[in-house]
Amino acid sequence: MKCAFLFPGQGTQTVGMGKDLYEKYEIVRKVFEKASEIAQIDIAKLCFEGKRDEYKKPYVISNEEIQAGEDLNQTENTQLAIATLSLAILALCKEKNIKADMAAGLSLGEYPALVYGGKISFEDSIFLLKQRGYYMQHYLPKEKFQMLAVIGLEESVIEAICDEIEEEGLFIQPANYNCNGQVVISGEEKAIQLAQEQLKEARAKKTVVLNTSGPFHTRKLEEAAKHYKQDLEKVTFLEGNNCIVLKNIDGRPYQKEENMVEILTKHIISPVRFEQEIQEMLQEGVDTFIELGPGKTLTGFVKRETKEVSTYCVNNVETFETLCENLGNK
């Protein structure tokens, strides 16, 4: 068996995520506590109630009915919340001796992957994601943007349509190459509307406007990337361990000689090439994919590429216990 850990990105968050894990496992509470101290945000409350609050110690879970709040869906909070839950589940896996040969994440999910790969410390990952989320939320251009998922059309056709619209003076470009037959494009509202019409004419199976707050992974975030680079330069990146970590910007493994500051700066403004990462893992012989964090988006992408692998999504007590029954202490 060859295993890969997958770490989800923004858009998978739900109010209440990780609550049962937090209640049952001490190590989960410790991870949340540590992350909250670093970020100075009560991340448990953010995950379980959807509300941001300044950090309070100790944290007591409210018995009040959980209601969705805007705080969790704000980029500067979402990134910390998802990553903390992923890292807490990763800590549980380590306790049960569940290991991976490769690690990959979607957008912010690349940071837990880098922690697991020994290329960045837990402390620095939380610091960086707090800064990254802040810049990505507060240094957006003022125009109105949308993101559109395009299903069932060749990448070259989608790229050609985007190029034609850009020649008319509008901004639009691919932002996520998720898997075979699924690409997400980002652009001005008018550009997305034009693209949607042309994509349907080109016989796309489906197009879906996504609920997002900005043109992420495009050149429109150059100002955010510029500010973020200053924080990346404060961090000491590590040599890493034996786990192979894949990069969003090209789908290839990180190499020791590469400039981590440049890669992670470029990460914000470059398309996510997760399809290439899946292909890289399959070529390396990975036959078991374990998604650690909310949702089941990434294992869904894997299943679109191949049915000949085992997949697990771990985001609550039940799914963690199922993973342990199948893979724990082996």
Confidence at residue 65, expressed as pLDDT on a 0 to 100 scale = 31
What's the CA gap between 14 and 270, in Å, rounded?
Answer: 26
Residue 217 falls within a domain, yes or no?
Answer: no
Q: Which one-letter amino acid corresponds to residue 284? A: E
Phi, psi of 274 (to 5 degrees): -70, -30
Residue 154 falls within a domain, yes or no?
Answer: yes
Residues of the chain short of pLDDT 50, as ranges, are: 56-69, 330
- Of 212, 231, 253, the residue that ends a domain is 212
What's the CA gap between 296 and 7, in Å, rounded?
Answer: 10
CATH number, domain of 186, equals 3.30.70.250
User: Nearest Cα to 28, choosing from 121, 104, 115, 90?
Assistant: 90
Confidence at residue 61, expressed as pLDDT on a 0 to 100 scale = 34
Residues 197, 228 share a domain: no
Range list of H helices, 25-150: 26-39, 43-49, 70-73, 75-95, 110-116, 122-138
CATH number, domain of 259, equals 3.40.366.10
Confidence at residue 68, expressed as pLDDT on a 0 to 100 scale = 39
Collapsing DSSP to helix, strand or coil, 172 comes out as: strand
Residue 254 falls within a domain, yes or no?
Answer: yes
User: Nearest Cα to 19, choosing from 56, 61, 68?
Assistant: 61
Q: Do residues 229 and 265 make contact, with C-beta atoms less than 8 angstroms apart?
A: yes
Q: Which residue has the tokens 């020791």?
A: 256
CA angle 85, 89, 95 (to 5 degrees): 150
Residues 189, 307 share a domain: no
SS3 content of the chain, % helix, strand, coil (to 5): 50, 15, 35
Collapsing DSSP to helix, strand or coil, 28 comes out as: helix
DSSP secondary structure letters along 237-304: -----SSEEB-TTTSPBP-TTS-HHHHHHHHHHS-EEHHHHHHHHHHTT--EEEEESSSSHHHHHHHH
User: Nearest Cα to 3, choosing from 247, 311, 319, 317?
Assistant: 311
Residues 81, 18 share a domain: yes
Residue 87 falls within a domain, yes or no?
Answer: yes
Residues 303, 267 share a domain: yes
pLDDT digits (tens, 9 = 90+) for 242-294: 999 999 999 999 998 899 999 999 999 999 999 999 999 999 999 999 999 99
Q: Do residues 289 and 309 make contact, with C-beta atoms less than 8 angstroms apart?
A: yes
Confidence at residue 149, expressed as pLDDT on a 0 to 100 scale = 94
Confidence at residue 320, expressed as pLDDT on a 0 to 100 scale = 97
What's the CA gap between 149 and 39, in Å, rounded?
Answer: 32
- Helices then strands, counting H and E runs in the chain, come out as 14, 10
Residues 118, 41 share a domain: yes
- Of 165, 189, 212, the residue that ends a domain is 212
Which residues carry out catalysis? 107, 217
Residues 58, 13 share a domain: yes
Residues 149, 131 share a domain: no
Residue 162 falls within a domain, yes or no?
Answer: yes
CA angle 39, 33, 254 (to 5 degrees): 60
Q: What is the pTM of this model?
A: 0.92
Residues 188, 108 share a domain: no
Q: Do residues 286 and 4 make contact, with C-beta atoms less than 8 angstroms apart?
A: yes
Residues 111, 259 share a domain: yes
Residue 255, both tokens: 């190499």
Range of the domain at 193: 145-212
CA 105 to chain centroid, in Å, comes to 5
Confidence at residue 214, expressed as pLDDT on a 0 to 100 scale = 78
- Of 177, 212, 247, the residue that ends a domain is 212
Residues 75, 99 share a domain: yes
**Structural domains in the chain (count):** 2
Residues 104, 236 share a domain: yes
Residue 155 falls within a domain, yes or no?
Answer: yes
Residue 235 falls within a domain, yes or no?
Answer: yes
Collapsing DSSP to helix, strand or coil, 323 comes out as: helix
Residue 303 falls within a domain, yes or no?
Answer: yes
Residues 246, 111 share a domain: yes
